[in-house]
Structure 1
Amino acid sequence: MPLDLDQRKLFGLEYWVKHWYRYGLCFDRYSRLLQQTAAFSPQALQAFQNQHLKRMVGAAYRDIPYYRDLFSDLKLKPEAIQTAADLTKLPYLTKELVVANFDKLVSVKKRNFLCKVAKTSGTTGSPAQFIRSFNSINFENAAVWRQWKTGGDQGGKRRITLRGEVVVPMSQSKPPFWRFNPANQELLMCGFHLNENTFEAYLQKIMAFQPQILSSYPSNAYALAKYFRQHKISYRFDAVFTSSETLSPGVRQFIEETFQTRVYDWYGQAERVAAIGHCPKGTYHIQEDYSLVELSPMGQNFEIVGTHLFNEVMPLIRYKTGDLVKANPEQSCDCGSHFRTVASIDGRSCDYILTPEGYRISAANHIFHGVENVLEGQLYQDNRDCLIIKVVAASGFTEHDRAELIRNARENTSERMKIVVEEVDHIRRAPNGKFQSIVSRLPLDHNGPPETLASPA
């Protein structure tokens, strides 16, 4: 009889499988490579990028129907793309084009049973999926591990992870709100259940576990820091690693001062076409050996446009992420890296869903997964007891789709939450033109931390 999800987690099988995918056969090789490229001169780095770009373009032309047709239409041969500057000969790739041409964007030769499918609704509000090769998954985690090493985590330190995963059922009202991951020797704590009523349980577990590293969404790290301050409890982490949400300067300062440490932030996306991370000096650096990144002007900001260098199964070339950064007037950094810098990452701000129980939920895009007839979807809340799901529906949208959205929302938020599905013709964008996956009109104290915060008392 097959094991259910809770049994697989109980015996650690799911964690070991994930661990193998992330730190598999190629991980050590990529880790050694990335340690070398981090010290490359600008000339050596450019040569490295051009070498892998030519290899990727050649593979795309040979094995990817979409690119073969594109090059034919443009009357180009892959030899026309030799350097990053040559990429302007090709048009941008958007999420909408990926959705419309998914099958044609997958390699006819490289795809196998080791590939993984990543799904996202991202910042444009329309669902999409992307295929990652086993090698590219290893490469991704080698890049993340380099970032952790930058923060002083060489492995072996006790870590708690407080992110968006549903670690225990949302309906659970009593501890434990955590599970131990034996594969990574880390304590996975459920960010959804952290509130005033549950903090004492979280605190007791943290004090018993004595973690040295915190890996978290900025919002969850901030919430944890706020509770520590409110209860006048002093605790020091060796480092805090944040990702997946915009980290404001005020929030960063608040976390660093509360936990007497440095925050290392990491920007990435499901498409894996760009990565940006903090160096020890606190500067954001584009990870130039991870992918080929173009910064396309958009008003006073720049949009991140990325090109894969290590995923031949579904290479994305000149992919527009929709995420924005601010330019850094001071391109040089005292850390000595030759990677370009940016001042800030502005494309990941989001609100939160607040449940009747007081749980704050920021990663809720999976509510739309599996519902095929939704063109765009947004979660809207102006009442703590009610969640409105705004959808731009396709012509085939049915009551079954509506019921599935409601069921997904209840499973991932609260059984006590009233769920309303509202069909709309258009979902309004934010003033900066970005799509907001979650919009909350609840008081700021419930939505998340303000931009600037007071110093500790």
Structure 2
Amino acid sequence: MIGWGEFDRGTPMAPRGAGVDVKHRLRRAHPYRSIARRQLAWAEQATPAELADRRDRRLRAQVRWAARRSPFYREMFAEHGIDPRDIRTAADLVHLPTTDRVSVTDRRADFCALPERLMWPASSSGTSGRPVTVMRTPASSVYELCAQERQWRWFGLDADTPRIVLRGNDFVADTDGSPVRPLPGNRQLMVSSFYLTPDHLPAILGAVDDFGPQAIEGWPSSIAVLAGLLADAGHTLPLRGVITSSEVIGGPARALMASVFDAPIVDHYGQTERVVMTGNCEHGTHHVFDDYGVLEQVPVPGVPDRWEIVGSSLHNRGFPLLRYRTGDQVGPAPDEPCPCGRPFGRIGTIAGRAEDVFTAADGRALPVPSTVVDDLVGVRGVQIVQHRAGDFEVRVVPGGGWDAEVTDRQVRRNVDRMFGPGQRVTITTLDTLSTPDGGKVKSAYVVGV
């Protein structure tokens, strides 16, 4: 039998800088895809004991691989006098120290257990303003896609379901200004999150009519903006599913999407680091995908009924992360069993990324604006702030290898491509990041009107 990580070595991957559509096609054609789908299908039919046994076997393999191949983990096991063979079940993970964004940012190359040329990077400014870049193998990316598709099937959707995709697409800068780009081979109609305006609505509606989508996928804030435009214009767009991720969904946004799209919300939680994944079933319960990663809930000091999510990935052999502190917090899980009967664990409400929607100089809504600083390098912290419509400040905490001119060029290029021309941008260097209320640092927020 072929092991779950065997296709991580020497398999086809997208070239550096390849677009989302290229990577998506490669993932769908990858030889590991059929194996991953079989494993994931088995898991949802297993008993909780069977699922736990397979999870622990994969965890043992991942721990021993990391201890042999990752310089960071070789050093960690030696420094703490821990024998990797003593980590046999998820319960044994408490014997390992945790890792966090600081370690990954400062020693990224030391986490790699495979050559970087066999992987591609994934970056995010995250929810706390500290950017992070990790590496992903083709097989781990395939596994993630298949795990998402498994959840979609609970709602009668699959990989071939034609869908609108709304994220921070900057393709408008490379085209004739159209806010849409059909990708027929991927069954996707890309719609730019940064060009959702009444003026662009006729073009979007025309493309939607031609495409015939059955679902919509993307950032909740972007989907809510589109839903608002449709509602204001007196339109509805009945679909079979609204697939969301990356942000917390508020009550008003949820109600607006339900009224316009008349479809269930298919929400999943994950991170750039891909250590754990959760998703709701058709009964609304959020389940932990125990075959994707091991999720621990560590109590938050001084805050009752709140736990930090700590995760250990089971699918990425190129960049193993064990007991990684995500910084995200979760509330109590429901006590009663879920009517769906699946063996996955249950989890409470997750407080993940929550960003203010910015406004461009011409009045356009700009959902999840931190995407314009996700790819900055050499910085220990970064945050983008709106003072007024079209007036933005990027606050940077320099790190090792930081180059002020490179950062300035990258920020201005990203803002021009994603937000559109005509914005005012200032860049400020700081020792630390903060928020006006002294709470958790946000990667993007509005301080003016």
Provide the residue aligned with 1:421 in structure 2: 427
- Kept after mapping to 2: 8 A contact 1:105/1:314: yes
| Distance verdict in 2 for CA 1:181–1:312, change over 3 Å | same
| Distance verdict in 2 for CA 1:439–1:369, change over 3 Å | closer
1:324-343 correspondence to structure 2 within 5 Å? 324-343=329-348
Moved more, 274-283 or 431-440: 431-440
Moved more, 326-335 or 32-41: 326-335
| Distance verdict in 2 for CA 1:256–1:101, change over 3 Å | same
- Of the three residues 129, 142, 149, the one matched with 2:133 is 129
- Of the three residues 50, 58, 71, the one matched with 1:65 is 71
**Secondary structure in 2 aligned to 1:43?**
helix
Name the aligned partner's letter for residue 392 of structure 1.
V
| Distance verdict in 2 for CA 1:397–1:134, change over 3 Å | closer
| Distance verdict in 2 for CA 1:25–1:431, change over 3 Å | farther
Distance 1:325 1:240 in 2: 23
Provide, for residues 181-210 of structure 1, a one-character-per-residue CA deviation record: whole Å limited to 9, x for no partner. Answer: 132122111111011222222122223322
| Distance verdict in 2 for CA 1:157–1:71, change over 3 Å | closer
Provide, for residues 366-390 of structure 1, a one-character-per-residue CA deviation record: whole Å limited to 9, x for no partner. Answer: 5335644432111111211311112
Provide the residue aligned with 1:350 in structure 2: 355
- Kept after mapping to 1: 8 A contact 2:379/2:400: no
- Kept after mapping to 1: 8 A contact 2:194/2:418: no
Distance 1:13 1:375 in 2: 26
TM-score (norm 1): 0.87
Q: Does 2:148 correspond to 1:152? A: no
Provide, for residues 137-188 of structure 1, a one-character-per-residue CA deviation record: whole Å limited to 9, x for no partner. Answer: 1111110111111121134432111122223218x7x752111113212211
1:237-386 correspondence to structure 2 within 5 Å? 237-298=239-300, 299=303, 300-368=305-373, 371-386=376-391
Provide the residue aligned with 1:448 in structure 2: none
| Distance verdict in 2 for CA 1:310–1:394, change over 3 Å | closer
Provide the residue aligned with 1:89 in structure 2: 95
Provide the residue aligned with 1:411 in structure 2: 417
Distance 1:112 1:423 in 2: 30
1:48-197 correspondence to structure 2 within 5 Å? 48-107=54-113, 110-111=114-115, 113-169=117-173, 176-197=178-199
- Kept after mapping to 2: 8 A contact 1:23/1:138: no
- Of the three residues 38, 41, 46, the one matched with 1:40 is 46
Offset, 1:408: 3.3
**Secondary structure in 1 aligned to 2:158?**
coil
- Kept after mapping to 2: 8 A contact 1:163/1:220: yes
Provide, for residues 201-240 of structure 1, a one-character-per-residue CA deviation record: whole Å limited to 9, x for no partner. Answer: 2122223322111112111111121122212223210111
| Distance verdict in 2 for CA 1:371–1:336, change over 3 Å | closer
Moved more, 427-436 or 148-157: 427-436
- Kept after mapping to 2: 8 A contact 1:16/1:183: no
Moved more, 367-376 or 180-189: 367-376
Provide the residue aligned with 1:441 in structure 2: 447
| Distance verdict in 2 for CA 1:98–1:430, change over 3 Å | farther
Offset, 1:319: 0.4
Name the aligned partner's letter for residue 333 of structure 1.
C
| Distance verdict in 2 for CA 1:114–1:416, change over 3 Å | same
- Kept after mapping to 2: 8 A contact 1:326/1:344: yes
- Kept after mapping to 1: 8 A contact 2:28/2:142: yes
| Distance verdict in 2 for CA 1:312–1:355, change over 3 Å | same
Distance 1:155 1:408 in 2: 31
Offset, 1:430: 7.6
| Distance verdict in 2 for CA 1:433–1:22, change over 3 Å | farther
Distance 1:259 1:399 in 2: 45
Distance 2:20 2:148 in 1: 21
Provide, for residues 279-313 of structure 1, a one-character-per-residue CA deviation record: whole Å limited to 9, x for no partner. Answer: 01111111111111101122232211110111111
Offset, 1:104: 1.4
Distance 1:351 1:13 in 2: 27
**Structure 2 unmatched runs, 5+:** 1-17
Distance 2:146 2:438 in 1: 34
Offset, 1:51: 0.3
Provide the residue aligned with 1:4 in structure 2: none
| Distance verdict in 2 for CA 1:197–1:96, change over 3 Å | same
